[in-house]
Structure 1
Amino acid sequence: MSTQRRPHLKSLPPPSTGPSTAEPVPTQSGSSAPRVVGRKAVLSSVRPDPQTGDGRYPIAWLTISAPRGAVPTATSICECGRNLFAAGHRKALALIADHTAHRTRCPLRTTEERIAT
């Protein structure tokens, strides 16, 4: 028994007969010279930092996970060193309330202006 050859599922494009984009472009004098990219506008892939506008950045995160039919969980993390976890409906709700209250007590968020007022 001989096995039949399967046909190729993809067809390769025919080879190009024109100049390759990797080759230097011939100049008007006939000699080839490298193409100058500085004449064209090139978009930069580096985007400006969106946080440079007013200097604000996040310092505290509250993560809540409450899938249907499973035990809800909550995590409260702050750059001041706070890292708390709660599992269960009542404990998760208590941690959410505590995280909200932590915003006014956090030493990283307390400024001289806030203390004076």
Structure 2
Amino acid sequence: MTATRPLPLNSPTPTPPTDEDATPAAPATAVGEPEGAARKGVVVALRPKPHPTGQRYPVGGLHIIAPPRRTPRARSWCVCGRDRTATGTPAVLALVAEHTQHRTTCRRLNPATEGRAAA
């Protein structure tokens, strides 16, 4: 195996600095970019609302995974911040019952239950 030779550098010889080099040049604008515009805008301001008024959106869910001859798993979540998981048949069945009970007592899903509980 032979050693490779380094490639020759074809760079121009440097010229001594002059008075013209000391003044900064004005920054060039990119093609299509308006002058004075921000480089990075706020991305969130350009997106629509995540849940427009009058449309349906998910407020909770129960996701069960039960493949054949494997351990079942489940996840229950709600917009109030409740997020529970379970692994194994008895735990998944308990989570399903807990999820059903939570849907009837959650203050975010049923705002009327708050007034009844206070009275």
Normalised by the length of structure 2, the TM-score is 0.48
**TM-score when normalising by structure 1:** 0.49
